[in-house]
């Protein structure tokens, strides 16, 4: 829960539903004094959406008053559909358009468990909070980092309560900012905010580098839960000159297949988002220390490279005019490299595996 000021007495009863247990000072060094003005979220975009009247008004906590407006918002991103209720309380701090814009910018993988977002009545509370997959916004100046933070509490699913997360916090010497020191769940949410920034700035292969080495264990835990490719906008194609970096992927438009550039140097095609060996349809078998990248070259060759820029695998389709060629992760499970005339040059020959194997 983020708070800029103390909740008023009249609102404490409502918000007591989501005051979290285990309040404690983690006593870690903060890297920043605050995240909102230090991080860049310019890469985040609101997807297309529909807005229809109605929804579960029981999710709309408006300090005892009836909501002024209840709508169901459905965000649409390739294979992903996410619906949640938008509650506008009387004399609300933010209008519907702003709420939809900010929540839409939160990556789907982080906000997908959200059931409702509430623009609270002005003057009845301060800051923001969340409970049972409903997030509340009580200040007119809420930035996208706050929406990511509150959504991260929903995607937490008790990850912050595991031994792995507690051990990671204990082993690290710092946290993102002073607010992350409040308690374990809020530290988890702030690290998700930081991780979203790092992915957007292309700093994820090194977990942000030396600046964030003091929280490397926490970032590694978040990277496992939220791999870079599910934070980034989904893409199914690579054009000439584009590449997949370590932790990135192509996703078929129907969401059933993933071509993943793994940390171990292997480029692997999976059926389903469960990345286990039985679901691997094709791989380059290149297990080498990273970071790695997979590049669609202007000469028409598809190549994986190691950290020393040495080729570890190639499609051997070199030396042709690859202008306007592209690589496609198709809905049938085949990865195909097409020339400018849309004729196939190379493919993984993995068509038509309909279901995951585990």
From residue 137, give the alpha-carbon distance in Å to each of 121, 134, 301.
9, 10, 50
User: Is it the case that residue 247 has pLDDT exceeding 60?
Assistant: yes
3-state SS assignment for residue 195: helix
Please check whether residue 236 is in contact with residue 250, taking contact to mean a CB–CB distance below 8 angstroms: yes
Question: What pLDDT sits at residue 263?
Answer: 85
**The CATH number of the domain covering residues in 237-347:** 2.90.10.10
Q: What is the pLDDT of residues 8-28, one digit of tens each?
A: 333 332 333 333 444 478 999
- Grade residue 355 by pLDDT with cuts at 50, 70 and 90: low
User: What's the CA gap between 293 and 276, in Å, rounded?
Assistant: 21
Please check whether residue 135 is in contact with residue 178, taking contact to mean a CB–CB distance below 8 angstroms: no
Q: What is the pLDDT of residues 292-330, one digit of tens each?
A: 899 999 999 999 999 889 999 999 998 777 888 999 999
Please check whether residue 30 is in contact with residue 51, taking contact to mean a CB–CB distance below 8 angstroms: no
User: What's the CA gap between 59 and 230, in Å, rounded?
Assistant: 28
- Extended strands (E) in the chain: 29-30, 48-53, 69-77, 80-88, 116-119, 128-131, 134-137, 174-175, 237-239, 243-245, 249-251, 257-261, 267-271, 280-283, 293-296, 302-305, 311-314, 326-329, 335-338, 344-347
Q: What is the pLDDT of residues 126-157, one digit of tens each?
A: 789 999 999 999 999 899 999 999 999 999 99
For range 184-191, the mean pLDDT? 97
For range 30-58, the mean pLDDT? 93
3-state SS assignment for residue 306: coil
User: Is it the case that residue 214 has pLDDT exceeding 50?
Assistant: yes
Please check whether residue 128 is in contact with residue 139, taking contact to mean a CB–CB distance below 8 angstroms: yes
Three-state SS for 139-150 is CCCCCHHHHHHH
Contacts of 80 (CB under 8 A, 6+ apart): 108, 112, 234, 255
- Domain extents in the chain: 25-233, 237-347
3-state SS assignment for residue 326: strand
User: What's the CA gap between 206 and 195, in Å, rounded?
Assistant: 12
Q: Environment class of residue 3 by beta-carbon count within 10 Å: exposed (0-12), middle (13-18) or buried (19+)?
A: middle
Q: Is the pTM of this model over 0.95?
A: no
**The CATH number of the domain covering residues in 25-233:** 3.40.390
């Amino acid at each position: 829960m983020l708070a800029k000021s103390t909740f008023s007495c009249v609102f404490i009863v409502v918000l007591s539903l989501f005051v979290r247990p285990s309040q404690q000072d983690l006593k870690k060094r903060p890297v920043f004094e605050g995240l909102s003005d230090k991080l860049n979220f310019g890469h985040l975009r609101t997807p297309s959406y529909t807005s229809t009247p109605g929804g579960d008004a029981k999710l709309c906590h408006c300090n005892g008053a009836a909501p002024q407006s209840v709508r169901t918002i459905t965000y649409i991103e390739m294979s992903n559909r996410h619906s949640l209720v938008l509650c506008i309380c009387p004399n609300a701090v933010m209008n519907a358009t702003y709420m939809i814009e900010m929540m839409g910018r939160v990556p789907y993988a982080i906000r997908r468990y959200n059931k409702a977002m509430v623009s609270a009545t002005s003057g009845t509370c301060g800051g923001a909070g969340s409970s049972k997959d409903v997030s509340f916004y009580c200040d007119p100046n809420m930035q996208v980092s706050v929406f990511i933070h509150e959504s991260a509490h929903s995607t937490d699913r008790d990850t912050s309560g595991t031994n792995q997360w507690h051990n990671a916090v204990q082993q690290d010497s710092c946290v993102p900012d002073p607010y992350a020191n409040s308690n374990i769940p809020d530290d988890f949410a702030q690290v998700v905010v930081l991780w979203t920034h790092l992915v957007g700035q292309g700093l994820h292969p090194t977990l942000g580098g030396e600046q964030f080495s003091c929280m490397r264990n926490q970032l590694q835990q978040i990277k496992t839960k939220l791999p870079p490719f599910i934070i980034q906008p989904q893409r199914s194609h690579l054009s000439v000159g584009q590449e997949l970096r370590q932790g990135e992927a192509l996703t078929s438009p129907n969401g059933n297949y993933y071509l993943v550039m793994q940390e171990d140097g292997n480029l692997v095609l999976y059926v389903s988002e469960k990345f286990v060996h039985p679901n691997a349809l094709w791989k380059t078998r290149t297990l080498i220390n990273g970071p790695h990248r997979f590049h669609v070259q202007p000469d028409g060759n598809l190549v994986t490279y190691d950290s020393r820029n040495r080729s570890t695998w190639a499609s051997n389709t070199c030396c042709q005019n690859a202008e306007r060629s592209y690589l496609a992760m198709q809905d049938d499970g085949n990865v195909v490299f097409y020339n400018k005339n849309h004729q196939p040059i190379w493919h993984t020959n993995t068509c038509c595996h309909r279901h995951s194997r585990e």
